[in-house]
Copies of this chain bind each other. A is one copy, B any other.
């Protein structure tokens, strides 16, 4: 009876349009009419998919998490190469990852003063933490992590380093292909093998 109800694809398309709007216009551009225009649909249709703006913002964070998770799951690497691959998914190295990171930061900053959005932001942050822990574990299994090191400390340090490098990438330019900050990360990982 009904018209096709591919609500999931619809929501995803809207959320992806939201990410583009967030990158181009920032938080102030994330409006019903703005996102609907970017998605090429009517405002009322967006309203049907997401009853409130908060639902849309929450779904955007979830979409980012899903996309990063999918990319990580698709990695077919081992050892140090896998570690690099894992961490590079969280840095703004190409248009897709830059898009995600800008949107994540915009919504993350919004969550500082929007308590309803905090759980979703915290969930995403916890995911990044998990990746850092896994990365160090893979490194250890590859024998490139000195067992004398404190793994808890190294995980936190890696997390902070990763966040800092990501922020720097957002600030300095669009696509820092040969960003010296990338070498900082690589060199840091190298040092973990030694004493």
Chain B residue numbers with a CB within 8 Å of A177 are: none
CB-CB under 8 A from A157, the residues of chain B are 161, 184, 187-188
Residue of B nearest to A194 (CB): B195
Chain A binding surface SS class: helix
Cβ of A109 and Cβ of B26 under 8 Å apart?
yes
> Do A168 and B163 touch (CB < 8 A)?
yes
In the bound complex, residues from chain B placing their C-beta under 8 Å from that of A160 are 160-161, 163-165, 168, 181, 184
* A residues adjacent to B (C-beta < 8 A): 23-29, 102, 105-106, 108-110, 112-114, 121-122, 125, 153, 156-157, 159-165, 167-168, 170-171, 180-181, 183-184, 187-188, 195
